[in-house]
Every structure is written in C-alpha cells, then in structure tokens.
Amino acid sequence: MKYSINIGIIGYGIVGSGAVKILLMNADDIAKRVGIPLNIKKIVDLDITTDRQIGYNVSNFLSTDVNEILNDPEIDIVVETIGGIKPAISFIKSAIEKGKNIVTANKELIAKYGFEILPLATENKVDFMFEASVGGGIPIISPLKSSLAGNKIHEIIGIVNGTTNYILSRMKEEGLDYVEVLKDAQAKGYAEADPTSDVDGFDSAYKITILSSLAFNSSSKVENVYREGIKSITSQDIKNADEMGYDIKLLAIANENDKCQVQARVHPTFVPKNHPLASVNGVMNAVYVKANAVSETMYYGPGAGSLAAGSAIVGDIIESARNILTNSTGKISCNCYASKEMISIENLTGKNYIRIIAEDIPGCIASISKIFANNDVSLERITQKETYNGIAEIIWLTHESEEYKISKSLEEIEKLPVVKEIGSRIRVI
C-alpha cells in the first residue's frame, strides 16, 4: 500500500518550474483525482539560486546533484525538462533501468532517440510519457495513442511552433517584414536570441517526427523530414496570399499514402481562410488530424509557456501515478509495430504559389509560361503586381502539379535573362 507517489524533477527552468507550480497549486484536487498525494521529493538543476517566482518555497527540495533523484529508490516518477540530447539521454536511460517512470517534454530527444528509448521503457515495464513534447498544453499525444486508436490515420497537419506563428501573425496584422517582427519578438521573449531552431523549422520537424511515428505506427526519422523555414516570407507574400483568400502558416505535415509510404514535411504553406487552421493565430498551436473513421478532428491551445507545458507534464504524471497504483505501467509506448518507408517531398503533388521578380518587357510572361508548359505544369492564375524601374513582380498560382516538375521549371526559369529572382515558392494546402 502506497501513501504517496514520489516525484523527482530534473530541470527547473520554464517547463520544470511550471510543473512544480501546478503540482503545488492544485495539490488537493490532484491528490483526489489520483487517489493519493503526489509528492515532489527532489528538484535538480545546475542553477538552484535563481528565484523562479512560482509563489511557493521549494528550497528544501532543490539540489544540483542528479544522483539524488536517480539513486533514490523511493522516487517513482522522473520528470525530465532540461531538453537537448546530452546529458538528458543518459539521465533518462539510467532512470528507466532503475524502474522509474519517465515524463518528458524533450522533443529533440524523442524525435532522434525515441526508437531506442521507448523499447527500453517497455522492456523495463515503465511508463515513458511525452505529451508536453508537442503542442505545449494541447492534448494530442494521448488522443493519438488512445481515443483515435480505432482509426487509420491518413494525415496530420500541425501549427506546432508558437514563435513562427506569432511572427507570421504579426507580419500579417501589421504589414511588417520578417526582420522587424523577429526583433520585437526577441525583445518580448517570444523568440530566442538564436532563433534558428524555430524559424528554420527544426523545432517543427522534431514535433512532426513524433506525431508521424505515433500516427503511422512506424518510427519516422527526423532526417527524412523535408524542412523549410519562414525567413524568406515577405510581407508582400502575406498580402498576396490574403488577396487570393489564403493565410500563410508554417505547417508541419505528415501523411501516409495508399502504398503505406510516409511523407513528412515542414514548410510555409498557403492555408485557405476557411480552413480551421487559418484562424490559429499568435502563439497558439493546433493539430488537425484526418482519419478513416472520425474524418477530421482538431486540437487547439497554447503551444508553449511555463504553465501550458507544465499542464501536459502534470497530466502525464497523474496518468503514470494511476498506472503505478494499478501495477499497469509500461502499457503503451510508441507502438511502432510497422516499418514504413519514408518518401521525399519530390513525390508531393499540389498547387504552388510562385513570386518571380523579372524585367517588365514584352515576352517576359510568355517565356516563363513556356517553361511551365514544357514541364507539364499548368497554371491557375497569373497576376502582374507593381512595376518599379522596369522591374515587375509576377505572381503565379499553379494547378495541382508534381513537386519535381515545379522544381525543374523554377531551375530553368531562374536562368532566363529577363528573370532577376525567384522571390518565393510556397506550397498550397
């Protein structure tokens, strides 16, 4: 008979301190929902002097020595929120091997080493839970594992990075350019000093790797995810999109075709304004799932933040605590029982928005159009925008076309003497 579940928390930063605050703030209700209290036994961080201002005094629990968690046989659940691969991976493996259940927010670790860690957890009959790794506080991992488990999932489309969604939303609302908004976002703490992981799509790529593995029951490799960030998007692209009935969002998309091949990709995308994802603005995230029984469902909420990510962490702790009390830990892991080929973006078929900067001289549009035609790319719409100093901006919207035909066309178009630059090429959902 257990009288409490003991928790050790490795990493007392934004996410870790959010989880600690929630465990203390909602302790009474949580104890009743679990059946017995959840007890924070130890919090480990390199920095145990900075006050995290959570409104509770946790100084008695703080330590800089991770072994006080790993070697404490009374600790049932280890929460890892330090992020990154090293040393997180060795802490997690050690904890699993000691029979501790793991709750983590570490998307990079799961995307890169999930194939190794999840079976280790199953082998050791411990829980390995990672709701906080995708979509912050949005329940999406759990629905994929359970509520939707009767479905064959066809496609997952997510806005899973709050920083880029915030930047794109503000670029649209205020007509500002990327660099301006990024600076302001950094000043406000919505973007990091080095924004690469967000704006170049790495963060989204980790997350779609995780969702793809869960949805298609096959371990997806992050290096097979096509990745393109938002740096080349201009306020003019956003304005053009708006005029054509679209919003531009950085989407993370994974789908399985009827040959059981999986494709995963991250890129800016034209989203029709009436699509549920179009109205997901600012730092909010959403994940849209298409499946063969339920058709479409969407999950919406805050994609980041101390208490939002903390909410997902504590939800996992509660679920694991319930499993501990019923001796049923280690029940569901990734469930990657299949081994599906991942195919490249060259196999994609879709519409493309293309912005070309060219000399405004007779025959220019004709010569570009001819290249598209020679490559079997048919066009839905051509619009010539403003001309300055003899240089025109020409907007092309293709019909559905194979990715490689568009790419080949653009390679050839770029070489035309009249063409100054391929300004943008954005896929349409």
Q: Which of 328, 374, 383, 384 binds a second copy (CB under 8 A)?
A: 328
Contact flag: residue 14 with a second copy (CB under 8 A):
no
Our finding on whether 131 is near a second copy (CB under 8 A) is yes
CA 208 vs CA 6, 95, 263, 323: distances in Å: 32, 26, 10, 27
SS (H, E, C) 156-185: EEEECCHHHHHHHHHHHHHCCCHHHHHHHH
Question: What part of residues 207-246 is at the interface with a second copy (CB under 8 A)?
Answer: 217
Rounded least distance, CB 409 to a second copy, Å: 36
Residue 114 in contact with a second copy, rule: CB under 8 A? no
Smallest separation, CB 40 to a second copy (Å): 13
| Cβ-based nearer residue to a second copy, 319 or 359 | 319
Among 322, 370, 385, 408, binds a second copy (CB under 8 A): 322
Max Cα distance, the chain (Å): 85
Task: Out of 24, 48, 120, 332, name the contact with a second copy by CB under 8 A.
Answer: 332
Number of C-beta neighbours around residue 15 at 10 A: 29
Which one of residues 5, 15, 22, 208 is an interface residue with a second copy (CB under 8 A)?
22
Nearest CB to a second copy, comparing residues 26 and 63: 26
The residue to which tokens 């350019």 are assigned: 177
Give 209 or 320: the residue with its C-beta nearer to a second copy. 320
Query: Among the options 21, 207, 340, 405, which is catalytic?
Result: 207
Binding segment toward a second copy, per CB under 8 A, in 46-54, 72-80, 181-189, 297-305: 297-305
Give the shortest CB-278-to-a second copy separation in angstroms. 9
Q: Does 294 bind a second copy (CB under 8 A)?
A: yes
Q: State how far the Cα of 246 lies from the Cα of 370, in Å rounded to an integer.
A: 27
The radius of gyration of the chain from alpha carbons, rounded to an integer in Å, stands at: 24
Q: Could you say which of 166, 246, 270, 299 contacts a second copy (CB under 8 A)?
A: 299
Burial 152-174 (b: 16+ CB within 10 A, else e): ebbbbbbbbbbbbbbbbbbbbee
The torsion angles phi and psi of 149, rounded to 5 degrees, stand at: -65, -15
Least distance from C-beta 217 to a second copy, angstroms?
7
Choices 4-12, 78-86, 101-109, 303-311; region in contact with a second copy by CB under 8 A:
303-311
Cα–Cα distance measured from residue 105 to residue 129, given in angstroms and rounded to the nearest whole number: 9
Query: Taking the complex as a whole, how short is the minimal distance between the CB of residue 383 and a second copy, in angstroms?
Result: 28
- Chosen residue from 250, 317, 345, 364 binding a second copy by CB under 8 A: 317
Q: Is 7 in the site for a second copy (CB under 8 A)?
A: no
When asked if residue 16 is in the footprint of a second copy (CB under 8 A), the reply is no
Q: Kindly state the smallest distance separating residue 283's Cβ from a second copy, in Å.
A: 11
Least spacing, CB of residue 132 vs a second copy, in Å: 10
Interface with a second copy in residues 30-89 (CB under 8 A)? 30, 32-33
Token digits of residue 210? 């995780």
3-state secondary structure of 230: coil
As a whole number of angstroms, the distance between CA 252 and CA 134 comes to 11
Task: Rule CB under 8 A: say whether 314 interacts with a second copy.
Answer: yes
272 binds a second copy (CB under 8 A): no
Cis peptide before 143 (omega within 30 of 0): no
**Integer Cα distance of 179 and 94 in angstroms:** 43
Selection from 44, 126, 56, 55 nearest residue 80 by Cα: 44
Q: 170 CB contacts (<8 Å, ≥6 apart)?
A: 176, 181, 184, 185
Q: Is 41 a catalytic residue?
A: no
Q: Which two tokens stand for residue 189?
A: 């703490």
Q: Please state, in angstroms and rounded to a whole number, the distance separating the CA atoms of residues 46 and 69.
A: 14
Nearer to a second copy, 318 or 428 (CB): 318
Least distance from C-beta 296 to a second copy, angstroms? 6
DSSP letter for 335, please. -
**337 near a second copy, rule: CB under 8 A:** yes
The count of other CB atoms within 10 Å of the CB of residue 124 is: 19
Q: Considering the rule CB under 8 A, would residue 429 count as an interface residue with a second copy?
A: no
- Cα-to-chain-centroid distance, residue 340: 21
Three-class secondary structure of residue 209 per DSSP: helix
Q: Of residues 143-172, which lie at the interface with a second copy (CB under 8 A)? A: 143, 146-152
d(CA 61, CA 69): 11
Among 323, 352, 375, 398, binds a second copy (CB under 8 A): 323
Q: List active site positions.
A: 207
Footprint of a second copy on this chain (CB under 8 A)?
18, 22-23, 25-26, 29-30, 32-33, 131, 137-139, 142-143, 146-152, 217, 276, 279, 291-302, 305, 307-308, 310-319, 322-323, 326-328, 331-332, 335, 337-338
